[in-house]
């Protein structure tokens, strides 16, 4: 029996070592996907339901009471105007802000119209450049036709060029002059031939031809003009050579030489005009491209700098105008709910300051009275929405709105608490006076934010990062509790964070929607399997990164 027991104990020990003593060190990762959603911050508190309560109606602005519409015992509806404080300065401020906003909107429209006008002007300038280009072509071909005819006459007609005869050239100068004469003549003939071919292309177009056809012919004509000018300069050089060789020069010689000089000036002028067209078209095209880009930015998702500046000014003026309207509303005292005026403690003409009670309102409408500490109450404002839950009813929630916040707190054991009164949006007969109510008041919200859990954001060396899986894991596996094995360890991606609450944090940059990140790391140790984090959360707290204690909580929808 002893041997059997001993063997059994040895087997059990071996099994336990096999089961719990593995030192494989295998790491698995629970992955999640970067998503978009609303990050909501809220303040929570608890209190009791009251069926009949009174609310002091107080002014939010200082000044003289210009109207007082209520009397003691008068029944009033929700939102009824109780009194008005002199709002002359506030009204003037609203008018000034409205004027500034209107002016800013006009400036914005002018900036947009200016961009559109610039686009139109650029296109008109380009069109005018092409029209001028066609006109330049017409003048050029007309002038060149005359020049070529005259040059050929001077060269070939004996009446114009008796000094060009071979006998004269041989006798008066040298054999080289004859060679030069025939080389110049060949070039004149070649230029005339090129002109005839180019003129055929010119006759194919008109003022309504496409810009490409006009531009192509202008470019060809510019190249021809430079060659034409070179030939005429060679012809001119031949005249200069003859001038120093002849003892006497005829009047015809002088006249022809002067004509050649004039023809050179004409060709150079046309060459300059053709080059000017090319520059005008180039600049006009650049202006049109810039204008089209600017116009497309206005029509698309982005805008040019001057329009952005004008739009920013409009936004600033809109904010200022809205602020002025909000401040103007402070000069009117309204009832937060229907009820009975229990007392009136002021009269028309009285000078009041912010927080002065001018009347007391009694209501039978249910109200939640919750207690908040001085840190949380600083985040609460009248009009904020709240969700009310009840200990007595697990599945019942009612929406409400903050109606009143105590100006003076109650000190208890060194802690200051303030009572916040929340009206019910809807009445439910199941809710009884005195029941415990838990309120969650929405204090801030970031909509459509790119977000991850706060526990996924780590910090090291002052840099925030999220561990990202480069391996694409099927969607049905990323959230398995056992995690997945990755072929390569996750890499750290530096992120910029924004709005946050206890559970979620906004990712401003670094990650993209749909990207997989490490939500939790599971490492098998030598004695047990544990869920571990690779680094402490950026926001402290326990394993999930949530802060502990306090009266404020936040949630994500």
Contact 303, 251 (CB under 8 A): no
With beta carbons less than 8 A apart as the criterion, state whether 302 and 75 touch.
no
- Quick one: pLDDT band at residue 320, thresholds 50, 70, 90? confident
CB atoms within 10 A of CB 525: 14
Q: Which residues, including other chains, have CB under 8 Å from residue 99's CB and lie 6 or more apart? A: none
Burial letters 157-168, b for 16+ CB under 10 A, else e = eeebbebbeeeb
Contact 376, 70 (CB under 8 A): no
Q: pLDDT tier at 40 (50, 70, 90 boundaries)?
A: confident
Residues 467 and 340 in one domain: no
Task: Based on the fold, state whether residues 437 and 464 are members of the same structural domain.
Answer: no
Radius of gyration of the chain (CA): 46
Tens digits of residue pLDDT in 466-497: 988 877 777 666 556 667 777 778 888 888 88
Q: Among 96-110, 178-192, 295-309, 492-506, where is mean pLDDT lowest?
A: 295-309
| Per-residue CA distances from 59 to 123, 359, 484 (Å) | 61, 10, 62
Domain boundary among 385, 415, 445: 445
Choose between 115 and 235: higher pLDDT: 235
Judge if 440 and 385 occupy the same domain.
yes
Distance CA 35, CA 506 (A): 10
Tell me if 75 is assigned to some domain: yes
Residue 49: closest CA among 389, 410, 407: 389
Share of the chain above pLDDT 70, in %: 79
Average pLDDT over residues 123-148: 83
* Number of Cβ atoms within 10 Å of the Cβ of 175: 10
53 pairs with which residues across the strands? 363
Range of the domain at 142: 113-299
Query: Which pLDDT band holds residue 437 (cuts at 50, 70, 90)?
Result: very high
Task: Please tell me what DSSP assigns to residue 536.
Answer: -
Position 456 in a domain: yes
Least confident piece of the model among 52-56, 170-174, 350-354, 479-483: 170-174
Contacts by 343-347, CB closer than 8 A, 24 or more apart: 343/72, 344/68, 344/70, 344/71, 344/72, 346/65, 346/68, 346/83, 347/65, 347/68
Q: How confident is the model at residue 528 (pLDDT cuts 50, 70, 90)?
A: very low
Do both 524 and 439 map to the same domain? no
CATH number of the domain residue 463 falls in = 2.40.420.20
Number of domains forming the structure of the chain: 3
What is the rounded CA–CA span in Å between residue 121 and residue 125? Answer: 6
Query: Containing H/E element for 323?
Result: helix 305-329
Out of 385, 420, 445, pick the residue that ends a domain.
445
Whether residue 535 sits in one domain with residue 453: yes
Q: In this model, does residue 526 exceed pLDDT 50? A: no
Question: 360 with 54: CB under 8 angstroms?
Answer: yes
Contact 57, 403 (CB under 8 A): no
32 and 59 both lie in a single domain: no
Residue 5 lies in a domain: no
The pLDDT of 89-93, averaged and rounded, is 88
Residue 498: its pLDDT value, please? 86
Q: What is the pLDDT of residue 387?
A: 92
Higher pLDDT, 328 or 473: 328
Q: Model confidence over 389-423: pLDDT tens digits?
A: 999 988 899 998 888 888 888 888 888 999 998 88
Residue 347 maps to which CATH number? 2.40.30.170
Residue 246 has pLDDT above 80, yes or no: no
Spatial CB neighbours of 51, under 8 Å, sequence gap ≥ 6:
364, 366, 432, 433
Is pLDDT larger for residue 182 or for residue 299?
A: 182
94-98, 179-183, 240-244, 284-288: least confident range: 240-244
Question: What single-letter DSSP state applies at residue 1?
Answer: -
Which pair of structure tokens corresponds to residue 517? 């990140």
Q: Which helix (H) or strand (E) holds 306?
A: helix 305-329
Q: Which of 276, 299, 322 is the last residue of a domain?
A: 299
pLDDT of residue 309: 76
The Cα–Cα gap between 553 and 501 comes to 8
The average pLDDT across 5-29 equals: 65
pLDDT at 363 over 70: yes
Asked if the structure places residue 331 within a domain, the reply is no
Cβ contact 333:65 at 8 Å: no
pLDDT at 547 over 50: no
Asked if the structure places residue 405 within a domain, the reply is: yes
Specify whether 31 is located in the same domain as 72.
no
* Same domain as 250, residue 156: yes
Which pairing describes strands 332-334 and 81-85: parallel, antiparallel, or unpaired? antiparallel
For residue 47, what are the β-bridge partners?
370, 437
State the Cα–Cα distance between residues 303 and 289, nearest whole angstrom: 15
Q: List alpha helices for 157-250, DSSP H.
A: 166-168, 175-202, 211-245
Residue 23 is predicted with a pLDDT of 47
Q: Identify the CA nearest to 373 among candidates 423, 400, 403, 413.
A: 413
Q: What is the pLDDT of residue 15?
A: 59
pLDDT at 108: 77
Q: Is 129 part of a structural domain of the chain?
A: yes
Query: Does residue 161 surpass a pLDDT of 80?
Result: no
pLDDT value at residue 475: 64
Confirm if 37 and 449 have CB atoms less than 8 A apart. Answer: yes
My answer on whether 203 and 262 are in the same domain is: yes
98: in domain:
no
Of 21-30, 493-502, 540-549, the range with the highest mean pLDDT is 493-502
Same domain for 122 and 219, yes or no, is yes
**Claim to verify: residue 452 and residue 441 sit in the same structural domain:** no
Token pair of 515 as six digits: 């990207």
**The 3-state secondary structure of 452-491, one letter per residue:** EEHHHCEEECCEEEEEECCCCCCHHHHCCCCCECCCCCCE
Higher pLDDT, 254 or 471: 254
Q: Which pLDDT score, from 0 to 100, does residue 389 have?
A: 93
Q: CA-to-CA distance for 517 and 536, rounded, in angstroms?
A: 16
Task: Report the C-alpha gap between 171 and 247 in whole angstroms.
Answer: 13
Whether 105 maps to a domain, the answer reads: no
- Rounded distance, CA 61 to CA 89, Å? 12
Q: Is the pLDDT of residue 438 over 90?
A: yes
The pTM (predicted TM-score) of the whole model is 0.38
Distance separating the N- and C-terminal Cα atoms of the chain: 65
| Cβ density class 268-278: b for 16+ within 10 Å, e for less | bebbebbeebe
The answer to whether the CB of 151 falls within 8 A of the CB of 188 is yes
Residue 484 and residue 384 share a domain: no
* Beta-sheet pairing, 35-50 with 552-556: antiparallel
């Amino acid at each position: 029996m002893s041997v059997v027991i001993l063997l059994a104990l040895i087997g059990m020990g071996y099994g336990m070592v096999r089961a719990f003593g593995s030192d494989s060190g295998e790491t698995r990762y629970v992955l999640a996907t970067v998503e978009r959603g609303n990050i909501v911050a809220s303040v929570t508190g608890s209190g009791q339901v009251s069926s009949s309560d009174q609310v002091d109606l107080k002014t939010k602005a200082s000044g003289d009471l210009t109207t007082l519409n209520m009397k003691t015992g008068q029944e009033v509806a929700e939102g009824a105007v109780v009194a008005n404080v002199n709002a002359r300065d506030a009204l003037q401020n609203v008018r000034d802000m409205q004027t500034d906003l209107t002016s800013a909107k006009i400036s914005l429209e002018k900036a947009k119209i200016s961009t559109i006008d610039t686009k139109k002007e650029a296109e008109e300038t380009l069109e005018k450049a092409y029209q001028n280009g066609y006109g330049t072509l017409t003048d050029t071909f007309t002038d060149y036709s005359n020049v070529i005819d005259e040059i050929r006459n001077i060269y070939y007609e004996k009446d114009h060029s008796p000094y060009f005869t071979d006998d004269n050239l041989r006798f008066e100068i040298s054999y080289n002059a004859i060679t030069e004469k025939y080389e110049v003549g060949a070039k004149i003939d070649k230029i005339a031939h090129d002109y005839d071919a180019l003129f055929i292309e010119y006759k194919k177009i008109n003022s309504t031809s496409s810009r490409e056809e006009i531009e192509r012919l202008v470019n060809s004509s510019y190249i021809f003009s430079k060659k034409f000018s070179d030939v005429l300069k060679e012809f001119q050089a031949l005249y200069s050579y003859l001038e120093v060789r002849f003892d006497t020069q005829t009047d015809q010689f002088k006249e022809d030489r002067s004509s050649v000089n004039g023809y050179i000036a004409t060709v150079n002028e046309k060459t300059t005009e053709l080059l000017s067209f090319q520059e005008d078209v180039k600049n006009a095209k650049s202006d049109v491209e810039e204008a089209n880009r600017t116009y497309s930015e206005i029509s698309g998702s982005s805008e040019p700098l001057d329009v952005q500046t004008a739009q920013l000014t409009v936004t600033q003026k809109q904010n200022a105008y809205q602020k002025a309207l909000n401040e103007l509303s402070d000069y009117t005292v309204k009832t937060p709910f229907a009820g009975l005026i229990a007392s009136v403690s002021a009269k028309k003409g009285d000078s009041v300051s912010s927080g002065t009670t001018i009347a007391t309102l009694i209501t039978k409408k249910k109200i939640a009275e919750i207690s908040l500490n001085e840190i949380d109450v600083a985040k609460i404002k009248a009009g904020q929405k709240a969700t009310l839950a009840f200990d007595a009813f697990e599945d019942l929630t009612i929406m409400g709105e903050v109606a009143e916040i105590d100006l003076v707190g109650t000190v208890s054991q060194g802690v200051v608490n303030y009572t916040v009164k929340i009206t019910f949006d809807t009445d439910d007969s199941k809710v009884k006076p005195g029941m415990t109510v838990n309120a969650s008041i929405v204090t801030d919200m970031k909509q459509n934010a790119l977000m991850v859990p706060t526990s996924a954001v780590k910090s090291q060396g002052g840099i925030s990062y999220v561990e990202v899986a480069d391996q694409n894991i099927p969607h049905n596996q990323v959230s398995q509790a056992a995690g997945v094995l990755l072929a390569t360890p996750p890499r750290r991606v530096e992120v910029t964070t924004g709005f946050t609450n206890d559970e979620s944090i906004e990712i401003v940059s670094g990650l993209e929607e749909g990207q997989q990140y490490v939500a939790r790391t599971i490492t098998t140790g030598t004695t047990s399997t544990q869920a571990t984090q690779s680094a402490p959360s950026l926001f402290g707290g326990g394993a999930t990164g949530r802060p502990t204690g306090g009266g404020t909580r936040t949630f994500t929808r």
